[in-house]
Structure 1
Amino acid sequence: MSANPLSRRTLLASLGAAGTAAAVLPGSAAARVEGHLRPAYLGSFSWTDPPGRGLDVAAHHLGTGELRPTHPVEGVPDASWLAFSPNRHVLYATNELVPDGSVTALSLRDPRNPRILNTRSSRGGGPTHLSVHPSGRFLLTANYTDGTVVVHRLRPDGGLGESTDLVRHSSERREPHAHQVLTDPSGRWVVAVDLGADAVFTYRLDPESGRLRENQRLSLAAGSGPRHLAFRPDGGHAYLVNELASTVTVLAWDAAKGTFEPGESVSTRPSGAEGENYPAEVVVTAAGDCYVTNRGDDEIAHFEVRDGGARLRLVGTTGTGGAWPRHCALDGSGRWLYVANQNSGTVTRLPRDTVTGKPHPVIEAVAAPGVAMVAL
């Protein structure tokens, strides 16, 4: 690893440039917006050329799938990851490249005009992912640079309270770099994926103290670089994207014990693919489809989930219509797949066959400089 932990991101972004799902809940703030247009939120980086604006509000047409950019939200720099509170009244954002790192809470009482509630330190550099505990009482943040996971208590209005815990990952292979933290479908366990440590950590979160207690450390193949995982909706399996190996590993999940058991690993690329490639995001549907973004190939890999979740088969790949697809998301209907192409500064829309799961070629591209994420 470089002496500058964030230089990996700059390197991968330059390589990509050269090589060139959440339903609206009834009664939620988003559901109360009139008509067919619903807000969507775009997070972006400031260091790109042209620079991103941090956080933008877009309009998402539920009927046509069209995405219409609208306006930026001031005061939310480098929003590389976004997450909603369980009732969707609050949006949380990482401020990844702010010195020392921070996270911001925004009220969505008026979904078209998010209002900053407050910002707090992430207690570590390079916060790259965050999620809200299903109880709505805690925010969980992964700090990439420091290899740490931090817990913040949430106020009744959704604002950020004090930090209740900070855990630091260790590694004998490379410097630890926490890249994701989320709660399993049972709501009992907190899972953190560390790219530098080549490991997935499972924790128990004390609901009163807000402190984490390690339950399992699952070590993966050296140099694989696990980045993000997504659980199958039934909770029996998860699918782990390995950024440095261009593979997806099937993990059997025991929610009673809070432990993973690794299964097969399959390539995110078709046979014969050449050149540098770094997969980033993974999405899994209840119908049995799994999608992974390939940065470098600039494609979406479509997998069929088989044998009750225990196996994956690569069905095919589809171009994203942009460069360096960092994130992707399905809309609530499952008809549209949206891709955040960081280096081309575009969000592209791919129609999706809801029967076969197959993504079709891009039919729309919306300018969004430095875009890192689409939150619907």
Structure 2
Amino acid sequence: MDETTVAFWLGSYTPGDAGTGEGNGVGIRALRRDPSGGLVPVTHRASDSPSWVVQHPALAVVYAAEEFSGLILALRAARDGTLAAFGSPVDVGGGACHLSVSPDATSLIATCYGDGRVVVLPIDGDGRLTGRATDLAAARDPWSTGDASASATDALVADGLALLLGRSGAAAPDDEPDAVAVADADETAKAPDERPSRAHSSRWLPDGRVATTDLGFDLVRFWRRGSSTAAPLVLDHEVTLPRGVGPRHLTWHESGHLHVLTEYSIEVFTLRAGLDGRYGVVAGAQATADGAQDGDAAAEITVVGSREHLHTSVRGSNRISTMLIRGDGSELRAVADADSGGDWPRHHAEDGMVLHVANQRSGTIDSFAIDERTGEPARRVGRVEVGTPTCLAPARL
């Protein structure tokens, strides 16, 4: 590991009227590796609650989503980690909470938790955002009794899936305490079967398509390239998960499986494409070895460097769980839970055989050496106070 250059960008929640009012981060930090394996702040750029950051795959350009202002920033990065504005911000609104850049670096996707929108922003050859923003097709709740028959059919399939996986099937609204806890006040006036769309993350797949999650509608949506700038991505198909599970983040395994972590039910659903190219659920597993606890909310899922394990983070009980990958890559089993080292592990990142955990409420990055045999985060090798961390993104300078 190179201990002299910037290794990660760190997003955070900041104070202020436009922010959460509870954050004490300073914006976007540049972090380098410490000889011990932990991380050390280098410099920072002020920004309004940049809760998600990601770097261009080939250029020293960083993109940040200011969650509460709704602005997407492009920033040019210098070798020492300083960041400078690179073009004008693009306003996407809607509580943008996640960004991903296409492998060919022509598009950036912003997913908006606030209003459920999925937005595509073109990227110029120099990494600058062009200023255009295109909304993709809005999601429909497949579990709503008033939705179209096709969605109702998807819901029926998902209900059958729930029974296959040993679940109780579609949960009534009263059975979703976590969903109710995070609902906005104005949602209490909605009809009993009306839920808000909550687009939460996106992942580009090896075949050029992209998958997005809708935490509010229990959907994983798959998109393919469109034929015009007016329709840069078009909906290919959707996968409906059991009601109330809350799909949050995704990770890809080289075996050809897409693993989906659910925030509310604390599970991992494994998806695989069939001969027709459409994805379907092939397995489901509990995301923690010791089960979920009251107040838990799953956060992030990653593949360990050995490719034989996954890590999931769970807020509330503050755990990092290790899952063993078996068989053809679809069989998962949670084998161990470890303390996250702080409070509210919102995000984590693999760094070779070190795991860095962004503990939001304790305001720390806690770093752990990974046991090469078991894949478990073991000895803590570093801890640094950084404000209110929300996202760790690998840097390439």
TM-score per shorter chain, which class? 0.7 to 0.9
Structure 1 residue 190 corresponds to structure 2 residue 210: yes
Moved more, 102-111 or 214-223: 102-111
Give the match for residue 363 of structure 2.
345
Give the match for residue 377 of structure 2.
359
Structure 1 residue 95 corresponds to structure 2 residue 66: yes
Give the match for residue 38 of structure 2.
66
- 1:228 is aligned, of 249, 258, 265, to 249
1:202-351 map, 5 Å: 202-206=222-226, 209=229, 211-234=232-255, 236-254=256-274, 257-271=276-290, 274-285=293-304, 287-331=307-351, 334-351=352-369
User: What's the offset of the Cα at 1:50?
Assistant: 5.3
Q: Is the 8 A contact 1:304 1:315 kept in 2?
A: yes
Give the match for residue 85 of structure 2.
116
**Structure with larger Rg:** 2
Structure 1 residue 38 corresponds to structure 2 residue 6: yes
Superposition RMSD on alpha carbons, in Å? 2.1
Moved more, 37-46 or 124-133: 37-46
Structure 1 residue 132 corresponds to structure 2 residue 104: no
Q: Mind listing any 5+ residue stretches in structure 2 that lack a counterpart? A: 15-19, 145-193
User: What's the offset of the Cα at 1:207?
Assistant: 6.8
CA distance in 2, matches of 1:259, 1:244: 25
Give the match for residue 140 of structure 2.
170
Q: Cα distance 1:110–1:37, how it changes in 2: closer, same or farther (>3 A)?
A: closer
CA distance in 1, matches of 2:4, 2:133: 41
User: What's the offset of the Cα at 1:269?
Assistant: 2.7
Q: Cα distance 1:259–1:350, how it changes in 2: closer, same or farther (>3 A)?
A: same
The one-letter amino acid of 1:250's match is: T
Q: Is the 8 A contact 1:203 1:212 kept in 2?
A: yes
Instruction: State the SS of the aligned residue for 1:308.
Output: coil
The one-letter amino acid of 1:148's match is: R
CA distance in 1, matches of 2:248, 2:23: 26
CA distance in 2, matches of 1:257, 1:165: 28
The one-letter amino acid of 1:133's match is: S
Q: Cα distance 1:317–1:97, how it changes in 2: closer, same or farther (>3 A)?
A: same
User: What's the offset of the Cα at 1:232?
Assistant: 0.4
The one-letter amino acid of 2:68's match is: L
Q: TM-score when scaled to structure 1?
A: 0.84
1:43-62 map, 5 Å: 43-46=11-14, 47=20, 49=22, 51-61=24-34
CA distance in 2, matches of 1:68, 1:301: 25
Q: Cα distance 1:272–1:223, how it changes in 2: closer, same or farther (>3 A)?
A: closer
CA distance in 1, matches of 2:250, 2:195: 20
Give the match for residue 190 of structure 2.
none
User: What's the offset of the Cα at 1:264?
Assistant: 2.4
Q: TM-score when scaled to structure 2?
A: 0.79
The one-letter amino acid of 1:166's match is: D
Give the match for residue 11 of structure 1.
none
CA distance in 1, matches of 2:327, 2:375: 17
CA distance in 1, matches of 2:87, 2:244: 38
Q: Is the 8 A contact 2:5 2:79 kept in 1?
A: no
User: What's the offset of the Cα at 1:122?
Assistant: 4.2
User: What's the offset of the Cα at 1:60?
Assistant: 1.8
Number of equivalenced pairs: 335
CA distance in 2, matches of 1:244, 1:326: 14
Instruction: State the SS of the aligned residue for 2:258.
Output: strand
Moved more, 162-171 or 139-148: 162-171
Structure 1's consecutive aligned runs of 4 or more residues displaced over 6 angstroms after TM superposition are none
CA distance in 2, matches of 1:361, 1:294: 19
Instruction: State the SS of the aligned residue for 2:377.
Output: coil
CA distance in 2, matches of 1:170, 1:124: 20
CA distance in 1, matches of 2:279, 2:25: 37
Identical-pair percentage: 29
Q: Is the 8 A contact 1:318 1:361 kept in 2?
A: no
CA distance in 1, matches of 2:209, 2:77: 27
Give the match for residue 181 of structure 1.
202
The one-letter amino acid of 1:113's match is: T
Q: Cα distance 1:122–1:257, how it changes in 2: closer, same or farther (>3 A)?
A: farther
Q: Is the 8 A contact 1:164 1:211 kept in 2?
A: no
The one-letter amino acid of 2:386's match is: A
User: What's the offset of the Cα at 1:337?
Assistant: 0.1
User: What's the offset of the Cα at 1:257?
Assistant: 4.6
Could you list the per-position Cα deviations for residues 214-236 of structure 1 after superposition, in whole angstroms to 9, with x for gaps in the alignment?
Answer: 111111100111101101034x1
